[in-house]
Amino acid sequence: MSTQLELVARSGLGQATVSRLLFDSARRHSVDTLRQAAVALDLPPDALLPIAYDDAAAPLPAFPVLPPLAAEVGRMLSDDSPIAVEDRGRLAAILDAVVAPYRRQMRKRKH
């Protein structure tokens, strides 16, 4: 993976989030964000956690790992996917239609 945009596509993270991950070393990123980025980079989900949580006194927050299906869908929809652009568009539209009714509810969820 060579560009921020590829990491955005594979991880499902926003462009601003990926930019902060790469260039804002003072920021303490969420565990979910670091795990999504790690999976997108084909690393173990917790591989990036020591970078952000290097102080031994602070225990790592326990959040669920991004499900493998979510990472797989991210790779399927990425620009470097072997799936035809037209098919990726159809897949994205179908997934969007299925997920849309739950977005508001999921935004309110606390980890």
Listed by start position, the domains of the chain span 4-108
CA dist 64 and 79 (Å) reads 27
Q: DSSP code of 27?
A: S
Written as tens digits, the pLDDT of the chain (111 aa) is 557 788 888 888 888 888 887 777 666 778 888 888 888 888 888 888 777 666 544 555 555 566 778 878 888 888 888 999 999 999 999 998 998 888 878 776 554
pTM: 0.46
Two structure tokens written together for 70: 């979510």
DSSP for residue 101: G
Contact (CB, 8 A) for 94 and 79: no
pLDDT value for 63? 53
CA distances 110 to 49, 63, 69, 82, 107, Å, are 20, 11, 21, 35, 8
User: In the chain, what is the straight-line distance between the N-terminal and C-terminal CA atoms, in Å?
Assistant: 30
AA letter at 44: P
